[in-house]
C-alpha cells in the first residue's frame, strides 16, 4: 500500500465505530504501521509518521518516546489480542482442549495476516543494522504471548487438569507447533491466502498432540 492510500486509512481511523474521535495514540499507531511497512524500519522517520498521523512530532514522542518503542507498541497490540483469548485467573476454563484451540486460532489469524507477515520481514531484513528492533519485537510480541500462555498452563498444572511442569517451555513449544510450516510458507510467499481447512488441520493436530503429551497420568490410564 502506498503512502497516499495509507494516509487515507489513517485519517479514516480518527472516527471510531460510534462516530466519536479515536485516540491520538491509535491514530499514530495506524499511521506508523503503514509507514514502517512502506519504507522499512531504518527509512521510517518520526517526521513521516507524524505527518501521516496528522499530528506534531512532539505528540508522537510524547506518546511513545522513540521509534523503537513505537514499533514495539504496534507489535504489542497484536500480542494483546492473542492474550485476550486466554482465560483470566478465576475464570472457568471448561475443556482445556477447546480453550487451546481458541488460542491457536487467534494466534494463526494474527501471525498469518499480510500485515504481520510484512512486519516480520521488516524485522528480519533490518534487525542486523538495528539490534533494538529485534529486541523490542521479541519482547513486545512473542515473549508477551508466551508468558501469558505459560501463566494459563501453570494454572492448569496446579489444578491437575494437565501436567505442565515447565509451563514457559511448553507455551513456546505450543506456539511453535501451531505456527509451523504454515507460517514459513506464508513468509516465503508460497501459500497465500491460507485455506481455512489448512488452519483447522494445523490447530487440531497441534492441540491434540499437546494434550496427549501433557495429559495427567491418571487420565491416560
Supply the CATH number for residue 213's domain.
1.10.357.10
Q: What is the pLDDT of residue 23?
A: 84
Does residue 104 sit in the same domain as residue 161? yes
- The answer to whether the CB of 59 falls within 8 A of the CB of 50 is yes
- 117 Cβ contact partners less than 8 Å away, ≥ 6 residues apart: 111, 186, 187
Say what the pTM is. Answer: 0.78
- pLDDT lower than 50: segments of the chain: 1-21, 220-221
Domain boundary among 18, 38, 65: 65
In sequence order, which residues have a C-beta less than 8 Å from that of residue 132 and are 6 or more positions away? Answer: 68
Asked if residue 189 and residue 151 are part of one domain, the reply reads yes
Query: In this structure, what C-alpha cell is assigned to residue 103?
Result: 488460542
Q: What span, in angstroms and rounded, lies between the C-alpha atoms of 162 and 174?
A: 14
The domain in which residue 151 lies consists of 69-220
What is the model's pLDDT at position 13? 37
Do residues 203 and 186 share a domain?
yes
Which among 141, 144, 137 has a CA at the least distance from the CA of 122? 137
pLDDT at 22: 56
Give residue 197's pLDDT: 86
Do 104 and 153 sit in the same domain of this protein? yes
Single out the residue in 13, 45, 65 at which a domain terminates: 65
Please check whether residue 149 is in contact with residue 178, taking contact to mean a CB–CB distance below 8 angstroms.
no
Q: Residue 219 has what pLDDT? A: 52
Sign of the CA dihedral 100, 178, 140, 2?
A: negative
Within this chain, do residues 178 and 199 fall inside the same structural domain, yes or no?
A: yes
Residues 38, 54 within the same domain: yes
CA distance 52 to 67: 14
Among 117, 142, 132, smallest CA distance to 37 is for: 117
Q: How many domains does the chain have?
A: 2
**Are residues 37 and 105 located together in one domain of the fold?**
no
What span, in angstroms and rounded, lies between the C-alpha atoms of 142 and 140?
A: 7
Are 194 and 139 part of one and the same domain?
yes
Amino acid at each position: 500500500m502506498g503512502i497516499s492510500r495509507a494516509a487515507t486509512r489513517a485519517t479514516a481511523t480518527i472516527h471510531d465505530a460510534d462516530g466519536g474521535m479515536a485516540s491520538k495514540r491509535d491514530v499514530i499507531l495506524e499511521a506508523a504501521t503503514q509507514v514502517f511497512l512502506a519504507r522499512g524500519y531504518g527509512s521510517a522517520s518520526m517526521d513521516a509518521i507524524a505527518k501521516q498521523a496528522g499530528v506534531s512530532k512532539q505528540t508522537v514522542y510524547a506518546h511513545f518516546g522513540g521509534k523503537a518503542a513505537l514499533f514495539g507498541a504496534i507489535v504489542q497490540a497484536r500480542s494483546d489480542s492473542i492474550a485476550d483469548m486466554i482465560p483470566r485467573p478465576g475464570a472457568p476454563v471448561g475443556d482445556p482442549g477447546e480453550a487451546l484451540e481458541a488460542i491457536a486460532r487467534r494466534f494463526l489469524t494474527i501471525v498469518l495476516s499480510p500485515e504481520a507477515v510484512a512486519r516480520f520481514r521488516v524485522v528480519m531484513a533490518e534487525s542486523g543494522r538495528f539490534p533494538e528492533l529485534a529486541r523490542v519485537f521479541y519482547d513486545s510480541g512473542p515473549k508477551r504471548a508466551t508468558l501469558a500462555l505459560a501463566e494459563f498452563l501453570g494454572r492448569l498444572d496446579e489444578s491437575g487438569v494437565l501436567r505442565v511442569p515447565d509451563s514457559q517451555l511448553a507455551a513456546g513449544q505450543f506456539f511453535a507447533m501451531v505456527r509451523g510450516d504454515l507460517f514459513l510458507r506464508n513468509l516465503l510467499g508460497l501459500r497465500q491466502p491460507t485455506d481455512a481447512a489448512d488452519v483447522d488441520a494445523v490447530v487440531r493436530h497441534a492441540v491434540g498432540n499437546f494434550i496427549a503429551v501433557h495429559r495427567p497420568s491418571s487420565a491416560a490410564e
